[in-house]
Amino acid sequence: MMLAQQEFLDEFDWFVSRWWTLWLSGDVLFLLGQVIFIFVFLLVSVMLMVWFERKVVSDMQNRIGPNVAGPWGIMQTLADGIKLFFKEDLTPDGADRTVFKLAPYLSLIPAFLMFAIVPIGGDFSNADGSVNFFWGDFDFRLQVVDPPMGVLLFLAMSGLGIYGVMLAGWASGSKYPLFGSVRASAQMVSYEAALGLSLAAVFLTSGSLRTSEIVQSQVDGIWNVFGLGFFPFIIFLIAGTAELNRPPFDLVEAEQELVGGFHTEYSSLRFSLFFLAEFMNVVTMAGIIVTLFFGGPDGPIFTETLGWAWGMLWFFLKTVVFLFIFVWFRATLPRLRYDQLMDLGWKVLIPFALGWFLLLSAISVADVEGWNIFVTIAIAIAVFMAGAMLLMAAIRTARKSRLESEILEYG
């Protein structure tokens, strides 16, 4: 028998007899503590976010908004949550019962896991972002995990989050939820491509997928929003809003057409789980945007002893700005039509993100090879323009032939 196999078997014996000691080790307990902290943090921030959204939207519409429960109505979400908790839990007759019950969790769990990679604080200017406020040489980062695949975890989890929406609509066994879920998944799959392409530009400059290293590269250089020339950020913001199914991309729950979209048949606790997942995703998306494009916890550090706390402050302030922007979108922009949504995703955002990525990579290759930077940019822009003209010609031809065939068919 091979030595390695023997080692494996020994370890297996140890594991069978002593597996429970794993849970007593400090690392596991600490990780559990972090997970619980982030979970509670997300729940509280969802509660505040719902209140914030209602309050800001009502301000923008000259209304008062929630003002009864607690000071400035801040406990309104809690009251609504308790109400939802005690409502009757209905399961439609035509529902696929197992999947119907599974879907809210499939929506919630990825929403929660996504936040694990966001560094919510830490001093990246004077230190490497890790903090040490317990004992000895126990350094840790203010994020649950910092895996080498980093931001790809975010993409993977937002990919899995689609299942919650899709299966909820299908399992309800009713027409409008199914329409809503088909729309939702088509939209999310389409915009994920644009999201990934604008992320590629971030990876190009920071040279890493890890969120901590992306933040570090921005602290050492300039914030990615400036360094990448604004467009990747704008594309990410638009695609992210679409990925969240928030207005102006909320065709999924277009109430005039689809009743409530995928969650029409849900009530009580299961509905509140969808609601929770949706708002958790909003908070996470704001955190991810801040991390990737606005330096995360980067900002002036006034006292070096509590540097991580300053980082936390800057992170929260920036996140609140983006939460406000999401609410602002909702209060001011009318909903897109379905074909406009698909056109924007496939014919504008994806080609543009790809072209901009090629431009950025041409610049970085020119930097390494020592080419003339202006000539490189000029050639890259010329190629970019030629590609755009070809694309527009293709779109025009397609539209013309479609119109012709429609005229032939319908006269």
Residue 98 interacting with other proteins (CB under 8 A): yes
Residue 162 interacting with other proteins (CB under 8 A): yes
Give the Cβ contact number of residue 86 at 10 Å. Answer: 8
Binder among 48, 57, 69, 155 for other proteins (CB under 8 A)? 155
Binder among 42, 166, 197, 199 for other proteins (CB under 8 A)? 166
Write down the least CB distance from residue 7 to other proteins, Å.
Answer: 8
Residue 92 interacting with other proteins (CB under 8 A): no
Q: Indicate the residue among 46 and 103 with the shorter CB distance to other proteins.
A: 103
Residue 117 interacting with other proteins (CB under 8 A): no
Q: Helix, strand, coil % (nearest 5) of the chain?
A: 75, 0, 25
Write down the least CB distance from residue 397 to other proteins, Å.
Answer: 11
Write down the least CB distance from residue 319 to other proteins, Å.
Answer: 24
Phi, psi of 140 (to 5 degrees): -145, 165
Residue 28 interacting with other proteins (CB under 8 A): yes
Identify which range of 15-23, 50-58, 129-137, 236-244 contacts other proteins by CB under 8 A: 15-23
Residue window 33-62: x/- pattern of binding to other proteins, with contact defined by CB under 8 A? ------------------------------
Cβ-in-10-Å burial (0-12, 13-18, 19+) of 174 comes to middle
Residue window 180-199: x/- pattern of binding to other proteins, with contact defined by CB under 8 A? --x--xx--x--x-------
Q: Indicate the residue among 251 and 301 with the shorter CB distance to other proteins.
A: 251
**Which residues fall within 8 angstroms of residue 267, CB to CB, at 6 or more apart?**
87, 88, 89, 90
Q: How many CA atoms does the CB half-sphere of 224 hold within 13 Å?
A: 32
Residue 17 interacting with other proteins (CB under 8 A): no
Helices assigned H by DSSP within 294-332: 307-332
The letter for the amino acid at 77 is T
**Which residues fall within 8 angstroms of residue 235, CB to CB, at 6 or more apart?**
194, 197, 198, 349, 352, 353, 356
The C-alpha atoms of residue 304 and residue 193 are separated, in whole angstroms, by 41
Phi-psi region of 334 (alpha: psi -120 to 50; beta: other; left: phi over 0): beta
Q: What is the DSSP string of 343-372?
A: HIIIIIIHHHHHHHHHHHHHHHHHHHHT--
Residues that bind other proteins (CB under 8 A): 2, 4-5, 7-8, 11-12, 14-15, 19, 22, 28, 96, 98-99, 102, 147-149, 152-153, 155-156, 158-160, 162-163, 166-167, 170, 178, 182, 185-186, 189, 192, 207-209, 401, 404-405, 407-409, 411
